Structure 1
Amino acid sequence: MEDDLTLLGATGVEDLLQDGVQETLESLRVAGIKRRFAIRTGITVWCGGGASLLILLDNLKEDFYKVCRRCTAVVCCRMSPRQKAETVRLVKKSDERPVCAAIGDGANDVSMIQEAHIGFGIMGKEGRQAVRCSDFAFGRFHFLKKVLLVHGHWYYVRVSTLVQYSFYKNLTFITPQVFFAIWSAFSTQTVYDSMILTMYNITFTSLPILVYGLFDQNIPADLLMSRPHLYQANAGNAAMSWPTFFKWIAFGLWQSSVMYFGWPNAILPHGQPSLPFGQTMDLYLFGTTLANICIYVVTIKLVLVANYYTQFFIWSVILTLIFYVVLCLLYEGFIIEVLENYEIFWSFYRMYESAWLLLGFHSSLPSCADSRCHTSCLLVVLG
């Protein structure tokens, strides 16, 4: 140990609050986000030094958490990195199983950031160790307000819609195959051609929902920033609730039923001829028409669900439909020996030979969607 030293000077870092911290915390409170910060707001529980907190976490963990839950904020002083992580773990492993976020700007916050579900790192004067170990990093604390209230809100709505729409569009597409299996004595014959089965999720319906998941904004950013209480609309995983999920499922079942039973029975009663020269539909023409209706219906459904029509989204819809039509024209317009497309040859063209089939195709679109789709499709037809 050194002794008899002459102190020439000392340096230190002034650890003050950044600008906008108080306003950010107040906005998070209004948004319903519970927090634990080293700022006294409302009812506060003060824990002494690291020694007293060590006793609480080792012997009175459950009682300590019950007391903390009844408080607006809890301030813990002089904590070691391990104690910070244990405090986060205490909340994360509780019966409520909340989603925990940890915010720090120094190396002593790394354990806490890594223990939380979501770690935020702030580029401060104490280095960038917290930034390197975090999930999200930003330069100032007040940026957290926009990260949570705006981008967090948008991201949740996008992801919840993307997940449920994926279930919906596949249910709408495959349910007619289940109906067809009943009418075909549960044979292995499919109502769709193999090309349609392969490309449906890869190209025919993938690009619009991908662009939606990247750019959709259901509420403007300035409105979300000025009204933090709008964040509470997504509390409790509201957009992914069972009623909302079953609503998407109900739409899929209804639309697939209309596609399979509705337009053939309404437009072609008693199996009367619908094609030139007295011909009737065969299996491949029926499957091609079903696929056309399904692809257009699920695409229109997404257009109606979307709230923010960017150029990327509009072009994704247009290009997807154009690609589908062009691929069908090529695949069903030429015999390709390798693909063995003999049975489906010319089916796409034959669908447009009959005014009855076209009428059935277009009349099924407004019948296969919700009230908004009814209005939109009727306006298009009348216009």
Structure 2
Amino acid sequence: MSGGRKRGIRFSKLYSFSCLKSPFSNEHSQIGKKGYSRVVYCNDLDNQEAAQYNYCGNYVSTTKYTAVNFIPKSLFEQFRRVANIYFLVVACVSFSPLAPYSAISVLAPLVVVIGATMAKEAVEDWRRRKQDIEANNRKVKVYDNKSGTVKETRWKKLRVGDLVKDMYAEETDRPAHARTSNLNEELGQVHTVLSDKTGTLTCNSMEFVKCSIAGTAYGRGMTEVERALARRKEDRQPEDDFTSEDLPRNRVTTQAENPQPILGSIASGLGSYKLLHILEFSSARKRMSVIVRNEENQLLLLCKGADSGMFERLSEKERLFEAETKEHIKKYAEAGLRTLVVAYREIGEEEYRQWEEEFLMAKTSISEDRDELVDAAADRIEGDLILLGATAVEDKLQKGVPECIEKLSNARINIWVLTGDKMETAINIGYACSLLRQGMKAIVITLDSPDINALEKQGDKETIAKASSESVGSQIREGIAQIDSVKESSVTFGLIIDGKSLAFALNKNLEKLFLDLATKCASVICCRSSPKQKALVTRLVKMGTGKTTLSIGDGANDVGMLQEADIGVGISGVEGMQICYFFYKNIAFGFTLFWFEAYASFSGQPAYNDWYMSFYNVFFTSLPVIALGVFDQDVSARLCLKYPMLYQEGVQNILFSWPRILGWMGNGFISSMIIFFFTSHSTIPQAFRNDGQVVDYEVFGATMYTCVVWAVNCQMALSINYFTWIQHLFIWGSIAFWYIFLIIYGSLSPTVSTTAYRVLVEACAPSPFYWLATVLVVVSTLLPYFAYRAFQTRFRPMYHDIIQIRRSLGSETEASGELPLRVEDKLYHLKERLRPRES
């Protein structure tokens, strides 16, 4: 499926092995699986029979390590990295008597790096541990059957069967927490964002705003979606829509996975009822029922659910107001409201008695088909219903959602919304949150057609499946043809597909076609999608495109989607410059050793002192890289928001592509040649000092090492776009520290300092050739990169180069409101290059 697609480089997978990582399973939880059941003894935890089930406790632990396994497990994690294994092998070889360097000089940097990484892991795990402690010690109220009162206990002490009072989550003012820092690099390469709707794009705070009773609609006013549609049509909102006559002031609000509790809240003021049975809501049934006995001793079944499953359960004689109610539901859905159909029926005593026996047998069954038995019993009594009407609740958009999605879309990030809502609701919310935009053409794939509906009434499952698959395939091909027909234009497309169609689109014979169509669209909305479908769609996008995916969700239904994506955000970036610079500085340094060994006929004589080698990556060149990652910015945050297209440098791997990596490696190779040959030819042929002494290999090594330190740090200075005093301190301080180290280390006894004994004070510093060679070699080393950047900025600028030009001419631009002609010309050519991607 993905063989023909170009795969990008993944930062987090470039340097580590994936051994002993457990593969993801389709089944994210045993709960809800076919045949799953459990016996619970409510509020009777001392029961001997309850002990035999040995259910797990409520203790929460999200930590990766324990005090016992931290050292071995953390070491194992460290040595999954290729670089650490390499340096470990080098350290082991250094214990050999034939090694040119001492073991301690090779082992010390490895210990420092691994120790620092383990310390980071420990700090992150301790933070997770503190969050676990806070969660486990949260107070909850539990009913005590012995005393008959409600007592407080800790969350971790809850057991299966406890009756908990008022268990809810308050809104907290907390920032986002990164549970792990290992995926930071991926954030700058996100190509596709897959998001749940309820609780993610919307607040998951349901507000009862409209209803239809006996064919009459109640409630006026405008929802957020209607206001967005009005703005899209350039309509104005009449002022009288905001008067106090719109809706009753006392609104009923609820926060729940589904808008189920509304009717119960209303009914609390309409008399008393004895609750006999609850027929639970499920995504398969799409409805919920209760059986109650009223004050007049009548048995009533009250049912509420999705219109797709409720209308077919109505009695043929009791379908009054059906047409009016369907029309109201359609209008509510178009307004972005979530709807429920409400119906009821009276139950006779004998019918109820027989059904109750069957239902209790099904509920207490421990066979694999327990769920099917329960659903069958519920299905048997949820028939011949009498239509009452429909309710409509509004789930308001989160603050800033439309603006955020618009920015992401402008950055050419593909956005997929996976929701369980009706297609009409999803489409109109898509317009409200800027997922679907004015001028965008919609491609709708649905099985709600007369032909399919006629086949469903016949009940032949094989024929229905075959016809549905052919219909979905045909619609997908038509969509691809529609997009290809206007490829040269700037028209964008949005794809909307319902749950039934999605089930067939994810089959092996259609998934590649579906992915091709979806990736050609700017936005995708999957309606009526189940949790499993969300996970499968995420896997298809990740594996099919080979690009970085990010999923966002807030509930248990989103767990599979969060686990499947490269990055899961439950309610990475560092640019490639740092990694490329690491390649550069190590190749520039390493190849000077190669050239020296070739010059010395591979005698095994080292070019540098042991501790020069050890401190190179630890002290002399590491801090500027940290400063680059933390403080550098090619453009300001304000300009990033103003020009979202800049994000494409990460998505398209412009800053971390193989050509760029090979280019920096080539730059390091050229720098090593310049450093070695210029240093050797400028110092060796003539007297190095005034007394006529020539260069020995200790002085030559110190001189060449000085040139390396200067060159790689000045290379970093040329690469930085935004200087702060900390960056200046780290770059020039690293160079100064080399001289300080050479003075202190060289002043130690010859048995300790070996070849570095007084090499700076007595040999290098007094010689003019040492300083002249340093200037000559460093300037010559930087010239190739300087010339390349000047050529690239002038003739082949990247996105951020163009914005930097605009920023440098900011005063002129701000004054006139226009760009200089040469910058406008570059922006025009940039847009021309991006036009094929937009379509």
Instruction: Give the TM-score category using the shorter length.
Output: 0.7 to 0.9
Alpha-carbon distance, 1:334 to partner = 2.5
Which stretch of the first structure deviates more once superposed, 35-44 or 54-63?
A: 54-63
Secondary structure of residue in 2 paired with 1:238 = coil
- Say if 1:113 and 1:119, in contact at 8 Å, map to a contact too: yes
Q: After superposition, what is the alpha-carbon deviation per residue over 1:265-310, rounded to whole angstroms, capped at 9, x for unaligned?
A: 2465xx2212132111100000000001100110011011011212
- Say if 1:366 and 1:373, in contact at 8 Å, map to a contact too: no
Is 1:45 matched up with 2:440? no
Secondary structure of residue in 1 paired with 2:525 = strand
Q: Which residue does the alignment assign to 1:15?
A: 395
CA distance in 2, matches of 1:242, 1:56: 34
Q: Root-mean-square deviation (CA), in Å? A: 2.6
Q: Which residue does the alignment assign to 2:297?
A: none
- Say if 1:81 and 1:108, in contact at 8 Å, map to a contact too: yes
Alpha-carbon distance, 1:211 to partner = 2.0
Alpha-carbon distance, 1:102 to partner = 1.3
Alpha-carbon distance, 1:196 to partner = 0.4
Q: Which residue does the alignment assign to 1:114?
A: 563
Secondary structure of residue in 2 paired with 1:36 = strand
Alpha-carbon distance, 1:323 to partner = 2.4
Q: 1:275 aligns with which of 689, 700, 703?
A: 689
Q: 2:410 aligns with which of 12, 24, 30?
A: 30
Q: TM-score, normalised by structure 2?
A: 0.38
Q: Which residue does the alignment assign to 2:755?
A: 343
Q: Which residue does the alignment assign to 2:780?
A: 367
CA distance in 1, matches of 2:400, 2:618: 46
Distance 1:316 1:92, change over 3 A: same
Is 1:98 matched up with 2:547? yes
Q: After superposition, what is the alpha-carbon deviation per residue over 1:303-332, rounded to whole angstroms, capped at 9, x for unaligned?
A: 110112123222222332232222110111
Which stretch of the first structure deviates more once superposed, 307-316 or 40-49?
A: 40-49
- Say if 1:216 and 1:306, in contact at 8 Å, map to a contact too: yes
Distance 1:329 1:62, change over 3 A: same
Q: Which residue does the alignment assign to 2:483?
A: none
Q: TM-score, normalised by structure 1?
A: 0.79
Q: After superposition, what is the alpha-carbon deviation per residue over 1:9-49, rounded to whole angstroms, capped at 9, x for unaligned?
A: x9998422223322322222221111112425232435566
Q: 1:87 aligns with which of 520, 537, 555?
A: 537
**Amino acid in structure 1 at the alignment position of 2:413:** I
Which aligned pairs between 1:145-160 and structure 2 lie closer than 5 A? 155-157=573-575, 160=576
- Say if 2:750 and 2:757, in contact at 8 Å, map to a contact too: no
CA distance in 2, matches of 1:68, 1:245: 31
- Indicate the percent of aligned positions where both proteins have the same amino acid: 31
Q: Which residue does the alignment assign to 1:148?
A: none
CA distance in 1, matches of 2:650, 2:401: 24
Q: Which residue does the alignment assign to 1:356?
A: 769
**Amino acid in structure 2 at the alignment position of 1:182:** A
Q: After superposition, what is the alpha-carbon deviation per residue over 1:79-98, rounded to whole angstroms, capped at 9, x for unaligned?
A: 2212111111121121x312
**Amino acid in structure 2 at the alignment position of 1:25:** I
Secondary structure of residue in 2 paired with 1:35 = strand
Distance 1:363 1:66, change over 3 A: closer
CA distance in 2, matches of 1:66, 1:371: 43
**Amino acid in structure 1 at the alignment position of 2:766:** E
Which stretch of the first structure deviates more once superposed, 232-241 or 64-73?
A: 64-73
Which aligned pairs between 1:67-216 and structure 2 lie closer than 5 A? 67-94=517-544, 96-121=545-570, 131=571, 155-157=573-575, 160-216=576-632
Q: How many residues align?
A: 334
Q: Which residue does the alignment assign to 2:22?
A: none
Q: Which residue does the alignment assign to 2:122?
A: none
**Amino acid in structure 2 at the alignment position of 1:45:** V
Secondary structure of residue in 1 paired with 2:409 = helix
Alpha-carbon distance, 1:53 to partner = 3.1
**Amino acid in structure 1 at the alignment position of 2:627:** V
Distance 1:183 1:115, change over 3 A: same
Higher relative helix content: 1
Alpha-carbon distance, 1:241 to partner = 2.3
**Amino acid in structure 2 at the alignment position of 1:279:** Q
Is 1:259 matched up with 2:675? yes
**Amino acid in structure 1 at the alignment position of 2:512:** E
- Say if 1:85 and 1:115, in contact at 8 Å, map to a contact too: yes
Which stretch of the first structure deviates more once superposed, 19-28 or 224-233?
A: 19-28
Which stretch of the first structure deviates more once superposed, 275-284 or 36-45?
A: 36-45
Secondary structure of residue in 2 paired with 1:278 = coil
Secondary structure of residue in 1 paired with 2:676 = helix
Alpha-carbon distance, 1:243 to partner = 2.9
Q: Which residue does the alignment assign to 1:144?
A: none
- Say if 1:45 and 1:73, in contact at 8 Å, map to a contact too: no
Q: Which residue does the alignment assign to 1:320?
A: 734
CA distance in 2, matches of 1:290, 1:50: 67
Secondary structure of residue in 2 paired with 1:4 = strand
CA distance in 1, matches of 2:770, 2:653: 43
CA distance in 1, matches of 2:547, 2:667: 32
Which aligned pairs between 1:279-294 and structure 2 lie closer than 5 A? 279-294=693-708
- Say if 2:621 and 2:734, in contact at 8 Å, map to a contact too: yes
CA distance in 1, matches of 2:755, 2:649: 52
Secondary structure of residue in 2 paired with 1:298 = helix
Q: 2:717 aligns with which of 300, 303, 307?
A: 303
Is 1:226 matched up with 2:642? yes
Secondary structure of residue in 1 paired with 2:703 = helix
CA distance in 2, matches of 1:214, 1:13: 46
Which stretch of the first structure deviates more once superposed, 311-320 or 180-189?
A: 311-320
In structure 1, the gaps of 5 or more residues are 122-130, 132-151, 375-383
Q: 1:4 aligns with which of 268, 292, 297?
A: 292
Q: Which residue does the alignment assign to 2:375?
A: none
Secondary structure of residue in 2 paired with 1:16 = strand
Alpha-carbon distance, 1:368 to partner = 1.1
Distance 1:335 1:47, change over 3 A: farther
Which stretch of the first structure deviates more once superposed, 213-222 or 306-315?
A: 306-315
Distance 1:55 1:364, change over 3 A: closer
Secondary structure of residue in 1 paired with 2:691 = helix
Alpha-carbon distance, 1:106 to partner = 2.8
